[in-house]
Each structure stands twice: as C-alpha cells, then as structure tokens.
Amino acid sequence: MEEVQQAIQKVRSDIEAGKSDEEIYQSLDPSLGKDSETDRKVVELLASIPDAKIAKLLQRMLGLFKEKKIRKTIKRSLYQLKSRGVAIEEFSPDEGRPILYPLKAEPPKGYASAIDFLGNRLLLLVIPRVSRGLTVMQGVISDTKGLVDFSGEEMNRKAFIGFFKKVQENTPFLFVEMEPSYVAFLYNQSYHLTLEKRMTPPQDYLLLKTEIDGIKRGYAKALVYSTLQADKRVDDDWLLKRAEGLLKSDLFLDWRIEKDQIQPYADAVGEAEESKIILNPAQKEARFHEIYLKALSELFSDEKRALYKRRLEEMAYVLLKLGRNQEAEISLAVAIDLEKPLNPIQPNPFLFQLVSQSISALLAEAREKETKEPSLIIKPS
C-alpha cells in the first residue's frame, strides 16, 4: 500500500511540475502490472486527482488492460472525475480505443556470463511488457552442442530482481549487460547448431522463438569489434607476450583442455619425468617442450582454433564490460593471432600455456589421488 501511495504522490508532483502526459505515464508505469489488486488500487486513487491529464492517463490504461474488473474500476474513476468537472475526451469511434495511444514497452535487455572451458555460458533476455511485467528467458548455450537448456516465464519487476540476484549467486561467473539483439543472435546460432547436431531444441525455446527472432540482428563479427578496434592489434607482440597471464585471471582459472584429449600427452610427460634414462634439467625441459608442441599440432586444427578464437572474442567483450580493458585487448589480440597457421617456432602463447597448464593439472591430480589411495602392502609391526 505504501508503494501505491508513493506512486500517486509522484503523479501529483509530476502534474504540479507541469510534466507531459507521456512523462507522467512513464513514472507510473513501473508500479503497474505487478498484480490485479495493486492495479485496481492505483486506478481508484488516481480519481482523487481532479486533472485532465489524469483522465487521459486513465483512458490510456483502459486501452491497455483487458481484465474486466480493472476496466470497470477505470471507468468508475473516469466517471468520478467527470462528475467533479474534469473534461473527459471521447474515444475515437473509428479506432475504438483512447485518443491517447498506449505507450510502447521499454526496450529489451540482455545479459551474458563468461564462458567456461567447455564453451558453455548462460544468457538472459528480458522483454518488458507494458503493464504486464516481464518475459524472462534464460538459457545455457554451448558452442559445440547448441542449446543445452532454456526456459522462459512471465514475472513482475520485483520478482525479476530477486531472480537475477539468485542467478548471480548460483552461477560461478560474473554477468555483464549485453546488447539484447546480440543475445538473441547467440540464441539463434545455438538453435541452428542444435538442429545440425540432430538434437531436439527445448520446448520453451520453440514457444518463444518468434519473440527472439523479432529482436535479433545479424552480426558479421563478434560484438567486441564494435568497441575495440582490432586492426592495430593483429601484430602487437606486446599484447601477445602477456597472453599467458590471461590463464591466471579469475575468468580463465577453470580453462583446461578436456581430459580425454590431453591425457595421452600428460602420460608422455609423466613418463619423461620418471624415465630411467638420466636426463639433465635442460634435456627434460626440451622433451616437455616437444610434447607440448605435438599436443598443439594434433589438438588444434583449423576448426578448433576457430572455436577458441570465438571464445576469446566473447571473453574480450565480458572483460571490457567489467572495465578490465587491458585484459580485453590481450584476449582479442590472442583471438586474432589464432587466425594464423600454427607456428612451431613461435606458437600462440595462450594455447601453449593452456596445453602446459592442462597437463600439469592432470599430473597433479594423479599424484594427489595416489597419495590418498590406501596401500595394499601390509608392513610388519
């Protein structure tokens, strides 16, 4: 009730300040569409303000609300205003709706998380409805599988605030705001990838596909290129030399090459470490380097490098929105460098570090597992 009173008081203040019909409706709109009882109370209290702008406001609301009880309350409030001497403009007989047309809904909003080592990320697309709350779509997309999960539901603004907070708490990644047309574009790409993989898209996506398609635009390049200029970064050695540091960043900490892919190379490094042939540190390091290069050449085909290029472009945008501009530039420089063929003499520093780090992590896990496993050898007491 207090929120409703504050909304009505704001309308009074707007009228006293001489604000336009549009501005008055804009300030009232966030209070509408939460529930029927609140809407009815707002309408009833509006009748206490004897002003022609209130009459126009109520006429606009009559064109928006479909529920009979609310429409009846609006008509009653209009009648009360008329009986108090307020001039009420007639409805247009041709259109059958108020002379003052309904205000368009607020623009959609989009949000995106960072990407994990499997190429998964969470996207949110929020479409406001005039006096009807929000349509909220959340989905997990994968750049190798398509639409992993998707759901859509109607909720009011207050519920969305709680929902968004809960999503942020339960998701290990930070969220950034993203152009809704680009979020819709990413959803559409994932949908087509799902079809290519001969998988069935989530039912909720099919129900809301028309809404998504109505928002999306075509993008020839990743969104980050609309903000960061890439032409001067292609051969920027200064940025590339700092590429290894990206994997120490919180947003890249979990990035690893999948176990089944890197395991043979981890085994080779493990064998080199335990080799009975005596090798000095320099020889061992050379052997490790040879294994890392072999992993690079065998694991990162043109297609795989293109996949990582897209991931790093998307991560560059997330970093940029978080205000971490230098990391964003490094991420984009690495992405652009991945367009080149693999160079065994000067391998891409990010991929090389990714291979090395993935192998080290796998070997560390194996050693930890060995120390925790109980020994079957019974020692004499």
Domain count for the chain, please give it. Answer: 3
Query: pLDDT-derived band of residue 350, with 50, 70 and 90 as boundaries?
Result: very high
Question: Do 351 and 368 fall into the same domain?
Answer: yes
Q: Rounded to the nearest 5°, which phi and psi values hold at 371?
A: -70, -25
Question: Do 195 and 268 fall into the same domain?
Answer: no
Among the residue ranges 62-71, 119-128, 285-294, 312-321, the one predicted with the least confidence is 62-71
Residue 377 is predicted with a pLDDT of: 52
pLDDT at 88 over 80: no
Q: Can you tell me the mean pLDDT for 369-373?
A: 74
Question: Do 280 and 360 fall into the same domain?
Answer: yes
- Tell me whether residue 268 is in a domain: yes
Question: Which of 219, 236, 254 is the last residue before a domain boundary?
Answer: 219
| Range among 54-58, 192-196, 248-252, 279-283 rated most confident | 192-196
- Tell me whether residue 39 is in a domain: yes
pLDDT at 106 over 80: no
Q: Can you tell me the mean pLDDT for 87-97?
A: 53
Residue 98 is predicted with a pLDDT of: 44
Question: Do 205 and 244 fall into the same domain?
Answer: no
Residue 85 is predicted with a pLDDT of: 80
Question: Do 350 and 317 fall into the same domain?
Answer: yes
DSSP-derived 3-state class of residue 135: strand
- Tell me whether residue 380 is in a domain: no
Question: Do 153 and 65 fall into the same domain?
Answer: no
- Tell me whether residue 379 is in a domain: no
- Tell me whether residue 103 is in a domain: no
Q: Rounded to the nearest 5°, which phi and psi values hold at 89?
A: -70, 140
Torsional class of 131: left (φ above 0), alpha (ψ -120 to 50), beta (otherwise): left
Residue 132 is predicted with a pLDDT of: 65
Higher pLDDT, 365 or 151: 151
Residue % of the chain over a pLDDT of 70: 88
Question: Which of 191, 219, 247 is the last residue before a domain boundary?
Answer: 219
Residue 279 is predicted with a pLDDT of: 67
Query: pLDDT-derived band of residue 229, with 50, 70 and 90 as boundaries?
Result: low
Q: Is 342 exposed, middle or buried (0-12, 13-18, 19+ CB in 10 A)?
A: middle
Question: Which of 185, 201, 219 is the last residue before a domain boundary?
Answer: 219
Question: Do 52 and 131 fall into the same domain?
Answer: no
Pick from 298, 325, 330: which is nearest to 312 by CA? 330
Tens-place pLDDT, residues 259-315: 999 999 999 998 888 776 666 778 878 889 999 999 999 999 999 999 999 999 999
- Tell me whether residue 95 is in a domain: no
Q: Kindly report the average pLDDT of the chain as a whole number.
A: 85
Question: Do 341 and 213 fall into the same domain?
Answer: no
Centre a 10 Å sphere on the Cβ of residue 363 and count the other Cβ atoms it contains: 15
Question: Do 296 and 177 fall into the same domain?
Answer: no
Range of the domain at 27: 2-83
pLDDT at 92 over 50: no
pLDDT at 197 over 90: yes
Contacts 24+ apart (CB under 8 A), 218-224: 218/185, 219/182, 219/185, 222/310, 222/313, 222/314, 222/316, 222/317, 223/178, 223/179, 223/182, 223/317, 224/313, 224/314, 224/316, 224/317, 224/320, 224/328, 224/332
Q: Is 27 exposed, middle or buried (0-12, 13-18, 19+ CB in 10 A)?
A: middle
Q: What is the 3-state secondary structure (H, E, C) of 139-192?
A: EEEECCCEEEEEEEEEECHHHHHHHHHHHHHHCCCCEEEECHHHHHHHHHHHHH
Q: Can you tell me the mean pLDDT for 161-187?
A: 88
Centre a 10 Å sphere on the Cβ of residue 179 and count the other Cβ atoms it contains: 18
- Tell me whether residue 98 is in a domain: no
Residues near 159 by beta carbon (within 8 Å), at least 6 away in sequence? 133
Q: Can you tell me the mean pLDDT for 103-127?
A: 88
Question: Do 362 and 231 fall into the same domain?
Answer: yes
Tens-place pLDDT, residues 76-86: 888 888 888 87
Question: Do 237 and 351 fall into the same domain?
Answer: yes
- Tell me whether residue 104 is in a domain: no
Q: Is the dihedral of CA 197, 201, 205, 210 positive or negative?
A: positive
Residue 305 is predicted with a pLDDT of: 95
Residue 1 is predicted with a pLDDT of: 67
Q: Can you tell me the mean pLDDT for 164-181?
A: 85
Pick from 356, 373, 194, 169: which is nearest to 269 by CA? 356
Query: What is the residue whose two structure tokens read 């697309």?
Result: 125
**Cα separation of 59 and 124, whole Å?**
34
